[in-house]
Amino acid sequence: MTRPGLMNERLMALFLLGLLLFGPPLMGAFDRPAIALGIPVLYLYLFLAWLCLIVFSALAIEGGAQTPSGAEPEDLDRAFEDEG
Partner 1 sequence: MLQGWIIVLVSLAYLCFLFAIASYGDRRADQGRSLIANPYIYALSIAVYCTSWTFYGSVGRAASSGVGFLPIYLGPTLMFICGWFVLRKIIRISKVNKITSIADFIASRYGKSPLLGGLVAVIAVIGIMPYISLQLKAISTSFSVLVQYPEIVMPQDLGSAPLLQDTALYAALIMAAFSVLFGTRHIDASEHHEGMVAAIAFESVVKLLAFLAVGVFVTFLVYDGFGDVFSQAAAVPALTRLFSIEAAGGYGSWISLMILAMAAIICLPRQFQVAVVENVDERHLRKAVWLFPLYLFLINIFVLPIAFGGLLLFPDGGVDADTFVLTLPMAERQEGLALFVFIGGLSAATGMIIVATIAISTMVSNDLVMPVLLRVGRLHLSEREDLTGLLLAIRRGTILIVLLLGYLYARLIGESYALVTIGLVSFAAAAQFCPAIIGGIFWKGASRAGAAAGMSAGFLVWAYTLLLPSFARSGWLPAAFLEEGPFGIDLLKPYELFGLTGLDPISHALFWSMFANIGLLVGVSLLTRQSLVERAQAVLFVDVFRRTEDQARIWRATASVRDLQGLLARFVGQQRASSAFSRYARRHGQKLDVQAPADTALVRFTERQLAGAIGAASARIMVASVVKEELLDIDQVMAILDEASQVIEYSRRLEEKSAQLEATSRELRAANERLKDLDRMKDDFVSTVSHELRTPLTSIRSFSEILFDNPDLDADQKKEFLKIVISESERLTRLINDVLDMAKMEADQLDWYMAETDARAVIDQALAATHSLLQRDRPIALETDLPTRLPSVHADADRLTQVIVNLLSNAVKFCDPERGRIGITAGLRDGLLQVEVWDNGPGVPEADQERIFEKFQQAGHILTDKPQGTGLGLPICRQIIKHFGGTIWVESVPGRGARFSFTVPLAEAGEAAVSASAE
Rule CB under 8 A: is residue 48 a binding residue for partner 1? no
Give yes or no for a contact between 60 and 3, defined as CB atoms under 8 angstroms apart. no
69 near partner 1 (CB under 8 A) = no
Residue 36 host element (H or E):
strand 35-36
Interaction between residue 5 and partner 1 (CB under 8 A): no
**From the CB of 14, what's the least distance to partner 1, in Å?**
5
The count of other CB atoms within 10 Å of the CB of residue 14 is: 19
Q: Distance of alpha carbon 12 from its chain centroid, rounded? A: 8
Tell me which of 1, 6, 26, 27 binds partner 1, using CB under 8 A. 27
Q: How many residues bind partner 1 (CB under 8 A)?
A: 46
